[in-house]
Amino acid sequence: MKKKKLALLLAVAMTVTSIDSTAMMVNAADFTSEEVQEQSVELMDEPPEAAVETDAETEDGGVLSENSSEDESIEITDELQESADTEGEDTGIDVQEEDEASPEDVFSAGDEIAVLDDEVKSVSATNVLLDGVAGIPFYTSADLEVTYTGGRDAVRTCQFNYEEVSLRDSYTTDGTEITVTLEGADGNTYGLGSRLAAGTYTMKFTCGDIVSEPYRVSIKQMSESPLYKDPVNLNQDTEAESPLQGVAYYSFEAPAAGNYYMDTCDSNYRVYVDDGKNSYSVYESSNWYQEKQQTAYIGFYGGSLNSDANEDAIMKIKTQSDITSVEYTSESAAAIEGLDNLWRYSYMPGLLKLTYKDGTTDTLRAEFGNTVSDKQGHAVYSETCAVDGEKETPIDWDKIGNVLPAGKYRIHFMLQLEEQDSDNSVNTHTDLTVNKLDYDSLTPLELGNHELEAGELQKKWYSFSPEEASKYYFKWNVGDYSGDSEGFVKIWYKYENGKLDSCFDHWNMERGEVSVSKGVKYIVGVVSERGRKVSLNLTKVKTLKSIKMTKRPEQTTLLPGDRAWVSLRGMEITASYAEGDDETIAFGQTDSQGMGFKQNGSYTWENEDLCRVPVSMGDRQIYVTFEAADWNDVLKMEFGTEEKLDTAPGNQTIRRFIPDKSGYYSFSATNAYIDVIDSKTEKCLSAEKAYLEAGNTYQIYVVALEKDVILKVGDVPCEWEVSERIPETCTTDGKIVRKCKVHGETSTTLESAPGHDWSRWKVTKNATVLAEGVQQRSCSVCGKTETASVAKLPATIALNVKGTIPLKVKQSFTVKVTTGAGDRVKSWKSSNSKVVSVKNGKIKGLKAGKSAMITVQLASGKKASFKVKVQKAAVATKSIKVTNTATGKNQGKSAALKRGQSLKLAAVLSPVTSVQKVTWSASNKKIVTVSKSGVIKAKKKGKVTITVKSGNKKYTIKITVK
């Protein structure tokens, strides 16, 4: 049973609003800032003299409704709103209805427990999310099916949404929760939201003592996870997946240390900054901090399958910029007590302009007493102070109430210091004067047309004093619906002392009509989004005396029962007014003051052949009769045949179906709602799965949501449940036996052994030229390890000499040998040790005019040889080659340097045994200098020649300094 709260509101004033302008009407009695406490009582049923009106017209004029009276109505809302969403006139009574699960939404956290005698029989899941990232909190999602036994067999389905931890089962007596547990290979148990290490886990859904079959969850490092998509760049629009019932990750590497923020994004996301140790810092807000080259991962998730979150998102990451100035602008520095500044947290009409270090700007609405944030994550808060001469005293809202009394104030806007270091030089303030209401100073509104000034941020106020109690029609020229739209009214409560309080509420108002009392002073406030003039046509509403049908609807018959819809299309009435005039109105149109007619509540059958449908306009009502239609004239559905309906959104189509044999059937209708009714029992059956008896007639009601609707009846697909499961291992096959709950058939599926999930090979011992290495890998599922050898490295040898080199008698020279890893020199050998001796690579010439071959052999067997020719004369330089020591490449004949730059060169002599010294010189030391070791430094602009000399050989390089 629904619980309702009835709030009794004593209303004496009203407000009118249209699409992009708002008008407000209040009683202009003396004001007070005292608060009124709302009185409420609980109702277990609807009030006997007030009915809930939920009319909804279809495109062709069909009407769905609950019976309601025209002069008394109750509005049911989830919370107070600033706009009107339902029809009906106002009584000053507002009913709030607590949240209640719809028949399809059986599972939700916090639901009240329905007391039924059913117990859970089984829990199974499909479409299960089985992947996760090591170090990031793991959540799953699934479509759950729970089977119950006890008082009656039943099956309920629900969605276990991503980021939920458990679901409350509101269908069973004890309200058992459905929870999820994971067990690791180490035997430890984990819950959802845990940061898991890489590996494989067993996951189960549990409801009381009932446990689902196990599901294997794979947790991998981010780079190896299938959830990871792509890297993104700074300042670049990137299309990102935002999967429903899942998550997708994108990486961002910071080019520099600093704060970053998401400039655009159309989906839910969370930022995880990698600390480099397979752990992540989680940022819930739109901005975060990264070190240079540190990686952040943005996880996008679309929410539940029933959510409105986008499956695709556009993201752009930008660098956060410091705020350099804060400016405030407003339309007026004055306000009226109780009108312009109603609540402590409602914005005083004004705008904050933020200027950033990078030259960009942003504009925010100024809200006194509340913190506002820009899209970069900067926060600006305000403080309101009462001003008395040079003294400022911060306002104590708990002491003064919600409304600023008349006086002088200063409002300071400041940066949150924890968000940005600041010396407060960028902060700003504005001065505000709050005045008492002077009703006589307001521009009065009379009947007729008006051109009114409308503020863009702050309302312009007007007075209205009706000469008689009546309904008045406020018709505005702003918005697509103009004065024909339904606005909302704002009501100020009246105390016994006659003073007007600033607290307000609202309810619906039809066609811009407002009921006012004689002798009461009203105030009308007008605001427009563009701050321009608006037109108002203020008229007294004509009094409707009677209505009469002058043309019947096109529809003349109605199927028996109460499920068929009525269409009033084609109907016309004549409305007579107390002022003496008549108007003829067609269905779907209105009279001169914006009032039309409609079906008023449900219809009644006078007998088997005649039905009476109430039709009302304002507070007047007539009845239209319809003859009973014959079900035999309704089109029949054929089994297995699709029918494309000739319909439109909101239209109802009716069919009948007579099965040839008893069994389970399934009805489907694309882009439509569908109801299946048993003509014998008049019960509504499940369209997805219904047991139908042969020869019985079943009534099919289809309501189109879109133009294209395909209707079909066919077999019910099999519904399988697992009766036996033998899990597979890495090396042995598994088996799943399923049984159809609809038809009783069984099916066996063999699950092949997947094989080991090997890790990458890891070298535990490096290979050398002389010995093989060792590598190892392990299975992430069962932990098995295996090793393999790494092939020896190929033997290599390189000397710093080659061919034939000259050597003077008694001259020594050390030969350098480069080998592969792990190899070594085994021996040196001279072909004639009397001509050239060798020891540990050091050769020495002994006898001039002779030659000897030197051979070096490595432990691997690799050899290299060169020839030494001994001579009497000292070895002279034959050629010079110059190399760039930074690149290792030969230096050309020219080079360019900038002032202050250096270039390091090296001279390579041939033959390498030359004993002649190398000298370096510059043609102009004022332009460049060159050291003995070949380091050139550029000093000033110009050109210079560098000469490298050894013996009678030289090498020149032209240097240009820019």
Residue 494 Ramachandran class (φ > 0 left, ψ -120 to 50 alpha, else beta): beta
What is the C-alpha to C-alpha distance for residues 28 and 67, in angstroms, rounded to an integer?
A: 37
pLDDT in tens, 639-669: 999 999 989 888 899 999 999 999 899 999 9
Task: Record the tokens describing residue 498, joined without a space.
Answer: 């006659």
Give the SS3 label for residue 763: strand
Nearest to 283 by CA among 134, 129, 136, 133: 136
Pair 844, 812: CB distance under 8 Å? yes
The CATH number of 326-435 is 2.60.40
Position 19 scores a pLDDT of 28
> Residue 63 and residue 651: Cα distance in Å, rounded?
10
Q: Could you tell me the two tokens for 590?
A: 């209105």
pTM comes to 0.48
Strands across the sheet containing 142-149: 119-126, 142-149, 154-160
| Fold exhibited by the domain 797-871 | Immunoglobulin-like (2.60.40)
pLDDT above 70 (res 888): yes
Residue 720 sits at the vertex; the CA angle it makes with 715 and 721, to the nearest 5 degrees, is: 150
The top-level CATH class assigned to 227-319 is: mainly beta
What topology does CATH give the domain 544-628? Answer: Immunoglobulin-like (2.60.40)
Pairing mode of beta strands 734-740, 720-726? antiparallel
pLDDT beyond 80 at 141? yes
Q: Would you place residue 37 in the very low, low, confident or very high pLDDT band (cuts 50, 70, 90)? A: very low
Higher pLDDT, 421 or 533: 533
H or E, element range at 501:
strand 500-509
Segment among 234-238, 532-536, 616-620 with least mean pLDDT:
532-536
Q: Model confidence over 435-450: pLDDT tens digits?
A: 887 778 888 988 888 8
Select the more confidently predicted residue: 110 or 685. 685
Q: What is the pLDDT of residues 732-747, one digit of tens each?
A: 999 999 988 877 889 9
CATH topology match: 227-319 vs 879-961: no
Cα atoms found within 13 Å of the Cα of residue 795, Cβ hemisphere only: 13
Per domain, the residue ranges of the chain are: 1-101+438-541, 119-220, 227-319, 326-435, 544-628, 632-715, 724-751, 797-871, 879-961
Q: Which residues of 384-415 are buried (b: 16+ CB within 10 A; e: fewer)?
A: bbbeeeeeeeebebeeebbbbebeebebbbbb
Give CA torsion, residues 254, 256, 261, 266, to 10 deg. -30
SS3 937: strand
pLDDT at 199 over 90: yes
Average pLDDT over residues 123-142: 90
Tokens of 296: 């952040």
Examine the pLDDT at 632 and tell me if it is beyond 50: yes
Question: Which range among 184-193, 435-444, 727-736 shows the weakest confidence by mean pLDDT?
Answer: 435-444
One-letter identity of residue 425:
S
Q: Hey, which of 211-215, 351-355, 682-686, 946-950 has the most confident mean pLDDT?
A: 946-950
For the cut 60, the answer to whether the pLDDT of residue 490 exceeds it is: no
Of the listed ranges 185-189, 820-824, 841-845, the one predicted with least confidence: 185-189
Give ∠ CA 751-756-758 in degrees, rounded to 5: 145
Confidence at 503, pLDDT banded by 50, 70, 90: very low
> What rounded mean pLDDT belongs to the chain?
79
Mean pLDDT (whole number) for 198-202: 94
**Cα–Cα dist 323/231, whole Å:** 29
Fold of 879-961: Immunoglobulin-like (2.60.40)
Q: Are strands 443-444 and 460-464 parallel, antiparallel or unpaired?
A: parallel
Give the mean model confidence (pLDDT) for residues 57-65: 37
User: CATH number of the domain at 632-715, please?
Assistant: 2.60.120.380
Per-residue pLDDT at 38 exceeds 70? no
